[in-house]
Chain A
Amino acid sequence: MSAATPLNDLIAGRAPDRDGYVRLDVTPDLWESLARGCAAGLHDLSSVWADGGKVRMALNGDRQRAIVSLQTEDGAYPSVAALHAPAMRLERALRDLYGVRPLGLPDERPWLDHGRWPGRESDGRYAFLPVEGEGLHQIPVGPVHAGIIEPGHFRFTANGETVVRLEERLGYVHKGVHLLLAGADLEHGARIVGRISGDSTVAYAWAFASAVEAALGWSVPPRALLLRAIMAELERLSHHISDVGAICNDASVITMNARCMLQREDMLTVAKACFGHRMMMDRVVPGGVAVDLSSDGVGRIRSLLARLEATRAEILRVYDSMPSLQDRTVTTGIVRPELAQQFAAGGYVGRASGRAFDARKTFAYAPYDRLDFDLKTRGTGDVDARLLVRMDEIVESLKLVGVLLDRLEPGAIRSTALSLQAGEGAALIEAFRGDVFMDVRLDEAGRIAHVHARDASWFQWPLLEAAIEGNIVADFPLCNKSFNCSYSGHDL
């Protein structure tokens, strides 16, 4: 049995690739000791995936990042989840999607495969974890819900109103993303990636573009980088505002939701006028951006910022002056800081539990490396903290968009006459709900050989199960909304 190896020692002195990642081939022993390092909290697990005959693990140190590759033997390799639980669902998904065999995986139930895939149908029975005790009853919820949300099944075991265990079952919106992407050209690939999780389309497209640019050594015009950041911040703003409204709505404060939805509609209308698409889909492309922002558009966004600031102040004032609302959010659905740390939970889920991680700050990518903004955390880890972290981020994003607009200078928005070749690149981009990891491998013709996209939700969904424990059944919608995890981004 090997001891835990810290990532920092392993890659000290090695120069990272263009994308900031050090790439290493490792032995099974080293693979396991790195996994132990994750469990010991020496570094964070960013993703695990399979590509060709190898399994790969992306790791985040304090300032360094690495992607380690391990050659599988007949599809088998030592399981990461056996040593570090957060990898569990990723590895269960790997078994389903790639047929690799993580040896020693504690939970071998299928995850994304529900027994309906052509050619490998099974009865699809799923054994939920047993819960024993007196007076317990089960409440199955979903996958079809009464609201307009994505499908997912939640199996509650409750004692009266108190939740004893929640078990999630996801995978209902599996689309076969990795097969759709294999062999696609870059343009088509960018369109598919932009639809993996539609609400984070800018962040996904950016992550894909960034990984492709790193793989091919393309440079991006400065104006394009600024425009990407403007779109990403607008995306963040619109979702944070609608999330705050939705959380309040689940506590039956419908006026807050109405206010937030009006503001969100305003933002979407401005996005449509400035970038030609309400969600800014397909606007970030490898090599730059697809549309330029006119001076008229700059004016529109500036006046939008003023309206947003007014809304933000009003929302916060109302929230602060409603004890009945805070009574619902404070101490509800607490995520303990240790868990957020262990699962390397990104976004507001991590930051509300004291984990000071933001890909824009920790691994600052252009143009955030030259921007000044605060990374605020809260320590209580409840619904209230997740809501207030969003409110804090709205302040920062508003400032950022203002500065980004100031820095815009005329110029090209997309590199031209670029060469295509084989290569590999990765990127870690901060979407509104947390860091999106993307790894892209291209073949000689510059077509996509393999793409791995890991949504922040992979490490947030399991924490929702932990957060609801001991809470009451009726508070689940509130907790769930405060997480607002992606189904589509997770089910791939």
Chain B
Amino acid sequence: MTKTTTREIPGYIQSAIVVSLIYFFLVGVSSLETGIKILGSDTQESLFSAASNPIAALCIGVLGTVLVQSSSASTSVIVGLVASGALGVDDAVPMIMGANIGTTVTNTLVSLGHIRQSGEFRRAFAAAAVHDFFNVLAVMILLPLELAFGIISSVAEWVSGRLVGTAGTEWKSPVKVWVKEPVGWIQSFWEAVGATDGFRGVLMIGTGLVIILLALTLITRNMRALVADRVERAVNALLSRGGGVVAIVIGAIITVAVQSSSITTSILIPLAGAGVITLRNAYPVTLGANIGTTITALLASLAASSPESLTVALAHTTFNIYGIAVLYGLPFLRDIPIRLAEGLAGLAVKNGSAAVAYVVFSFVVLPLIGVVILG
């Protein structure tokens, strides 16, 4: 007697659509890289000089990600910038860390939707804030260590060197060859409409950004529909067995599948608000989402022509693995993000406008101040 809504597009067609969209995404990354190269080294230097200060670079990463509401998109752009040579690995790593912080704004905004029900809001806001606090604490611990000892970039460089060669060499990525032709078409199109060198570079960057954002949005939408039943089963399995390392793995798998950590973490918010999942069990899933979301930058690095782009993508993965190893792996640190999130949620319940102020100040005002003062 139960009649539920079924998916209208067959799975195999949706899979083919996703593969095509991934191809367009890679074309977008390559267009971006080409556009920046066309701009020339002087323009590149003046554009990205602000990123030479690591705190400013961190703030740029936060703002950029808040703007596009997707760390997958912002880290893919960073990979494109590194591939073009406009941005060095050392400058890109703090930006990547900023992207990790910026992506948490989406689920925090989702949690604000529960503001009218205090009990529900307390649980939902805490589930969102635990992701914020974890990512901020990870940056507070790992950024100084990276700046002092290069603990993240050295590992990423080592892995990248084993996979595609050392920095400064030209990497003949097969994916780069596949996307070369459509990128050439885009370039020819802007040439045909009469765009001169510098302006053509800007247009190529703009086209690349539009393609990246559009492709990622459509990939996420299609993948979400394609794997919804699997995600549902995985979440149900998670509810019956609790959190822990397995929850991290499930969070990572779901995020890889839907190509968006925001989707994974935003699914958790209504569940936490309804009391279906506890904060303690939601927490490791968000950590898995942190790892899962790095797949997009790794994918983007396949369309780039320098080993440095893969190094930056691997730095994103390494940073998140280190973060989990330190903050979740060490039992005496594990509960700190939970306690902070519960404390902030308590304050947010007492004063709803404080929650809104927290979002605006943490994700917009503070990073803007950082960029203006230090950039």
Q: Do A and B come from one complex?
A: no
